[in-house]
Structure formats: structure tokens, C-alpha cells
Amino acid sequence: MHDAKLGADTTGEPLSICVIDLDFFKRFNDQFDHLTGDLVLRTFAETVQAGLRTTDFFNRYGGEEFVQILPGTAIEGPVADAQRLRERVGSIQLPMPVTASTGRLTVSIGVAQYFPEEAIEQTFARADRALYNAKQLGRDRAEC
């Protein structure tokens, strides 16, 4: 993450971070099994990676949380991308219902833009707070 920050500081180009969480994944994992959960995680990751640029970074952060770093992208781009990602994830066809409430896989996303006067960890913390806010507001949404 520090390399992306250094690039943004050097070039002056914007940098945005998205923290993505699969909604109710623990409940799903408990209802089915961990092998099925792994299949869902892989399918989700493939869906995200299919929409990335070659300059973007995407990785699993822990459990069902993922981080996406978008160099050269101001906040408006990632917010629009997050909405499109939500739609793509919602259309993933799985062999079983994912949640009792929706019957489909959903994600909550927190988005923040890096500012040169802050540490990259502060940007990540803002994206993580935005993710928490998205969950508090009902999940299956993106917030910044």
C-alpha cells in the first residue's frame, strides 16, 4: 500500500481505497460449509478482478473483507465503480440461496480518497469507517 501512496505523492494523481465486505458471509458459511464458502469467495474475487484495470490492486484483507487500491482515481470514480460492482456481485449465480433475506450475494463497500497530508493508514481507516457506515445503513451499498 505504501508504494501506491508514494506514487500518488510523487505524481500528484489521486488515489482511492475501497474496503469491501461480503454481507452476512459468516451466516452463509455456517449454513453450508467452508468448502462452499471458499467457492463463494473465489467467485466473488474473480468477479472483482474481471473489472479491474492493470494498475489497480485487489487482495483479501481477512475473512470476507477485501481491499481495492485504485491509483489515478479520485473519489467519484470508485463510488461509481463500487455501485457497478454491487450490481455484478448481485447477479452472480450460485447453486444455493446465499441469504435468507435476499437470496443473492451482496456486498458493502467503504470508499475513501487519499490526501497527501495524511498517512495511508488514515485513508484506510476512513474507508473502513465508511464500510461500517454502509453496514449500519442496511448493507448492500457503498458509502464514502
Position 36 pLDDT exceeds 70:
yes
pLDDT at 100: 47
Based on the residue annotation, tell me whether 76 is a catalytic residue of this protein: no
Position 68 pLDDT exceeds 80:
yes
Catalytic residue among 64, 65, 118, 143: 64
Query: Mean pLDDT throughout 66-85?
Result: 91
Position 99 pLDDT exceeds 60:
no
Position 11 pLDDT exceeds 90:
no
Query: Mean pLDDT throughout 10-38?
Result: 86
pLDDT at 34: 83
DSSP string, 6-66: HHHHHH---EEEEEEEETTHHHHHHHS-HHHHHHHHHHHHHHHHHT--TT-EEEEEETTEE
Query: Mean pLDDT throughout 48-54?
Result: 92
CATH match for 2-139 among 2.40.50.100, 1.10.150.20, 3.90.105.10, 3.30.70.270: 3.30.70.270
Overall pTM > 0.75 = yes
